[in-house]
A and B are shown apart, each in its own frame.
Chain A
Amino acid sequence: MNGINGQKSVATPVAEAGSQPPAPVTTQTVTSPAATSGKARRGPRRLNRKQRWLLQVASTVAILVAWEIYGRSVNPVIFTYPTAIARAFVDMLADGTLAQAALESLVVLGIGSAVGAIAGIGIGLLAGRSDTVAALIEVPVNALYATPSVALIPVIVVWFGFGATAKSIVVGLFVIFPVLINTMRGVREVDPDLLEVARCYCSSEPKLWRDLLIPSALPYIITGLRLAIGRGLVGVIVAEFFTAISGLGNLIVTNANSFETARMFVPIVVIAVYGVLATALLEWVESRLARWHR
């Protein structure tokens, strides 16, 4: 009985698809609740929120358990396991080293990302709209983007010292390019039909930005920021490796040098948590800003 049902449910969508091949995407996106079941059968299986959450928890737990079992069988100098990391976490929290380092890194990350993102969005918007600006920045942007930003860290340290300024600049450098390039692309990709509508209704340039260019570049800007989160985290850790005075990067280096493997993993976990939180924050901002999206 199940087999027959299964066959039926496969056969129906094939027939539907055959009868109207050109526009499956539109029929799917403009769905009504009634159409959802058909859509679910047509594509890969859709999960509801609870199922997704369960799978996420299951995969995380599975990884942690496997790690714990394997980690316990290895020399603790070489590798560690989750419960040891948790113990080290509590220790480091108690002696204050973790909170201090986490805060130092957060400040560098915050300032560097903010400056990099704002500069990237600003320059990207201008370069997307103006061929002159685009021509002016093209070579330097491509050159700097292609150069591994890590290579510039020694110079930045020479110029700005070992403090938060130098590290923020490194983070800014890591963050600016994905944001800039995506923003520019977003402005370039604006729908020419809508551009004509705006011209036809005699829109001024500032109103054109408000009504058309910025909203249409927004998804691209968000994508740029999403990429920038990962790069910014790399930036802060690498900068702290080099300066090795403060922050989570410093904690990683010093603990690794003294073979405190469990303690070394604690700041790594904190960095991962930063990444997850920043992405979640960005998704929340996106859902508030881009409410017109389906």
Chain B
Amino acid sequence: MAHPSVVVEDLSVHLGGRCILEDLSLSIGNGQFVAIVGTSGGGKTTLLRALAGLLPAERPNSIHLDGTPVDGPDERIAMVFQHFGLFPWKTVEQNVRYGLDVQGKTDHDGRVDRLIGMMHLEHCRKQYPHQLSGGMKQRVGIARALCMEPQLLLLDEPFSAVDAITREELHTEVLQLWERQEQMNAVLVTHDLDEAILMADRIVVLCGPPGRIILDVENPISRPRDIQEIRGHTDYIRTRRRLWDALKNGTNGAASEPTKMRAAL
């Protein structure tokens, strides 16, 4: 973690008079995949939206990407949404191309074709989102984000709206895609501990409100990972246990001493 690429410093977010995040700090290293897990209402999604520059800044310069502040929607950041966020009147291909298109990045047909191929969307290129299953829709969402070749990829519970079998397939595909590249940072918000351990290099447990980090662990399981074998791994079981304990204690109100938690690990 020599050059932290994403730096969050003393980020506070209030929405509708409620404090959602309070003085949160986090730095993410180059090429790191960070999973943020936590209970509902703990501020996971708010943190992700703040990273995407979608929330009005309460304190300037509390988020930096590669040395420059993120103070609004940023072309270096792309997001995959829980609700897929596809335009119903655009075909699969047009949806994949959307980000490039609005940012005036024409001349990237190769990239679009490559991602359509990688996400197995060739046969439905000309179809509209309502003709696709949930899993296919999220493939389009992921292809659209990756098309941007972002420095920071944000994933907001991207697999929670698809069925279990499709989820496993998507896990495998995203894992393979991830392991083939080096430049990107990714932040995955999820409430699925297995998904976090499977995908991430590092797992952050967020508890709230107001959201605070109560645990921050490196994932001991090395890459490349095999989705079928990983679940029997002793490290997997141990990590899962730690995360679960942190989540449970955090919600029980014992989270006021994050340092103690960290030391106990």
B81 touches A197 (CB 8 A): yes
Which residue of chain B is the closest to A207 with respect to CB atoms? B102
| In the complex, A131 has a CB within 8 A of chain B | no
| A197 / chain B contacts, CB cutoff of 8 Å | 79, 81, 85, 87
| B52 / chain A contacts, CB cutoff of 8 Å | 200
Contact of A199 among B54, B89, B130 (CB under 8 A): B54
Given contacts A193-B83, A197-B81, contact A202 B88 (CB under 8 A): no
The stretch of B35-43, B70-78, B256-264 that contacts the partner chain: B70-78
A204 touches B102 (CB 8 A): yes
| B77 / chain A contacts, CB cutoff of 8 Å | 200
| B99 / chain A contacts, CB cutoff of 8 Å | 201
Given contacts A199-B73, A201-B98, contact A194 B54 (CB under 8 A): no
| A196 / chain B contacts, CB cutoff of 8 Å | 54, 81, 85
Contact of A215 among B78, B79, B85, B87 (CB under 8 A): B87
List residues of B whose CB falls within 8 A of some A CB.
52, 54, 73-75, 77-79, 81, 83, 85, 87-90, 98-99, 101-103, 128, 130, 148
Give the CA-CA distance A211 to B85 in the complex, in Å. 13
Give the CA-CA distance A253 to B109 in the complex, in Å. 65
Given contacts A193-B83, A204-B102, contact A290 B130 (CB under 8 A): no
B103 touches A202 (CB 8 A): yes
- Per-residue CB contact flags for chain A residues 194-235 toward chain B (1 = under 8 Å, else 0) read 101111111110010001100100000000000000000000
A200 touches B102 (CB 8 A): no
Contact of B79 among A30, A200, A211, A290 (CB under 8 A): A200
A215 touches B81 (CB 8 A): no
Give the CA-CA distance A53 to B265 in the complex, in Å. 75
A201 touches B87 (CB 8 A): no
| In the complex, A45 has a CB within 8 A of chain B | no
Give the CA-CA distance A197 to B78 in the complex, in Å. 10
A203 touches B83 (CB 8 A): no
Give the CA-CA distance A158 to B56 in the complex, in Å. 55
Give the CA-CA distance A294 to B88 in the complex, in Å. 10
| In the complex, A159 has a CB within 8 A of chain B | no
Give the CA-CA distance A200 to B87 in the complex, in Å. 14
A residues 179-200 in Cβ contact with B at 8 Å: 193-194, 196-200
| The 7 nearest A-B residue pairs measured at CB | A197-B85, A203-B102, A292-B89, A215-B89, A201-B99, A292-B128, A202-B73
| B74 / chain A contacts, CB cutoff of 8 Å | 202
Which residue of chain A is the closest to B75 with respect to CB atoms? A202
